Chain A
Amino acid sequence: MSIATVFEVALAAVVLGLAIWTIAVPETYSATVGFVAYGLLVALIWVRLDAVDVALTEAAIGGGLGGVVLLGAAARLRDAEATAAERPDRFTRLIAAILSASIAAALGLAILILPDHAPTLAPVVAANAGATGMANPVTNVLMAFRGMDTMLEKVVLLLTVVGVWSLASDRAWGGRPGPHHEADPHGVLAFLARLLPPAGIVVGIYMLWTGADHPGGAFQGGAVLASMWLLAIMAGLADTPPVSSRWLRFILVAGPGLFLVVGLGGLCFGAAFLAYPVAFAKPLILGIEVAMVLTIAATLALLLAGAPERNA
C-alpha cells in the first residue's frame, strides 16, 4: 500500500466519522458547523477522484452558501428548540429508525449490484468534444448534450425563489428581503466587504470563462458572485433590492429565458429543440452562460436573503 493510499483511506475514515458525528450530535449549531467542515473535506476527496468540477461546486455550495443557509436556519430554530423540548415517543422513533436503515440498506445494495463496467456514455462524450468547440467535457454535457436538463434545472432555481418569496406577509410583499444590516463604516467588516469583492468578482468571471476548457462554469462563478454581493449586504454597504423591482426580475429570468429562446431557435432553424448550429455553438453557449451566471448569482443571493420583510 503506497503512502498516498494510506492518506486516502485516512481521509475517507475521517469524513465518515465526521458525517456520523454530524448526524448524531444533538445541538443544531454544532451539526451545522460539522456539515460545513464535511463539505470542505468532501471537496478534497472530489479533487483526489479527478472530479474537479464537482469539487468546485461542493466547495461553493457545501462549504460556503449551503453552510450559511443552515447557519441561518439553526439561528432561527434555536429559540424554538428551547421551548419545544418534547421528544417523539418510542414508537415514532422506532419507525423512523427502521425507515432510515432500510433506505441505507437499499442504497448499499444498489451500489453492490451495479455491473462491474457500468454502462457509460463517457467515450461518446469524449469523441464528440469537437462538436461544440469546448474542451471541458462537463460543460459539453451540461450545455449541449444534456442541455434540456440544465435548462429545466434553472427553471427549478427560479421556482425556489418564488417559493421563498411566497413566505412573505401581505404587508411586506414587494419589499426588501432580510433585515437591514448596519455595521461600523470604519470597522473590520466594512473593510473586508470593500477588500474582498473586487477579487471575488474577478474569480467569479474567471470561473465562468475557464469553464469552457477547464473545470468551472456558470454555477460556480454565480455562487462566488452571490457570496460577494451578500458580503456587501451584510456589511451594510448595499441593501437587498425590493422584490418588486423590474431589473431584478429581468435578471432572474434572463438565464432560463435566453436558454429557451436559443432552444426554440434550434427548433426553427436547426435540427431539433436546443440543437445549436455547429458554426455558432460556442458563441451561443457562452452567451447563455453569461446570462446564466447573472441569474444564478441573483437567485442564490436572494435565496439566502430570505423572504421580503421590509417595505421598500
Chain B
Amino acid sequence: MTEFLTAAVGLILALLALGLVSILRGPGDTDRMMAAQLIGTAGIAVLLLLGTVTGVPAAVDVALILALLATFASIAFVKKGLSRLESDGVGSAEDK
C-alpha cells in the first residue's frame, strides 16, 4: 500500500511541476494565478498522502490551512487585480 501511495505522490508532484510550467509561461496574470491555485490543490493532495505514508498525522492540518488560505488568496487576487482588469476592458466594477 505504501508503495502505491508513494507512486501517487510522485504522480501528483509531476502534475504540480506541469502547473509550474504554466506559471512560467503565463501569458496572462489570470493564467498564472489559476496555475498557483492548481499547485495549491496538488499540494493539499501531496500533504494528505505524505501524512499517511510517513505517519505524520499533523500533515492533515497543514493541508487544512492550505485549503482555507489558498481560496482566500485567489479571492484577494480577483479583488486587488480588479483595477488592472478594468483598465484592460475586462471585468466589472465592484469597489467604490
Which residues of chain A have a CB within 8 Å of any CB of chain B? Answer: 3-4, 7, 10-11, 14, 17-18, 21, 29-30, 33-34, 36-37, 40-41, 43-44, 47-48, 50, 52, 55-56, 59-60, 63-65, 67-68, 71-72, 74-75, 78, 179-184, 189, 192, 196, 199-200, 203, 207, 210, 214-216, 220, 223-224, 227-228, 230-231, 234
Given contacts A33-B36, A47-B50, contact A71 B81 (CB under 8 A): yes
Query: When each residue 27-51 of chain B gets 1 if its CB lies under 8 Å from chain A and 0 otherwise, what string results?
Result: 0010011011001100100110011
Inter-chain pairs besides A203-B65, A224-B65, 18 sampled, C-beta below 8 Å: A4-B6, A18-B23, A37-B39, A37-B40, A44-B43, A47-B59, A48-B54, A52-B56, A52-B58, A63-B40, A63-B70, A64-B68, A75-B81, A78-B83, A184-B94, A192-B71, A199-B68, A216-B58
Q: What is the interface of chain B, defined by CB distance below 8 A to chain A? A: 6-7, 9-10, 13, 16-17, 19-20, 23-24, 26, 29, 32-33, 35-36, 39-40, 43, 46-47, 50-51, 54, 56-59, 61-62, 64-66, 68-73, 75-81, 83-84, 94-96
- Contact between B94 and A183 (Cβ–Cβ < 8 Å)? yes
Q: Across the interface, do B62 and A231 meet the contact criterion of CB distance under 8 Å?
A: no
Give bound CA distance, A227 to B50, whole Å: 26
**Complex partner residue of A50 from B26, B56, B76, CB under 8 angstroms:** B56
| A41 pairs with B43, CB closer than 8 A | yes
* Contacts A44-B50, A75-B80; A203 near B64 (Cβ below 8 A): yes
Task: Give the distance to chain A from B33, nearest Cβ to Cβ, in Å.
Answer: 6
The residues of A that contact B51 with a CB separation of less than 8 Å are 47
Known: A43-B43, A52-B58. Is A180-B17 also a contact (CB below 8 A)?
no
* Closest A residue to B94 using CB positions: A183
What residues of chain A lie closer than 8 Å to B39, measured between beta carbons?
37, 40-41
Q: A33, B81: Cβ atoms under 8 Å?
A: no
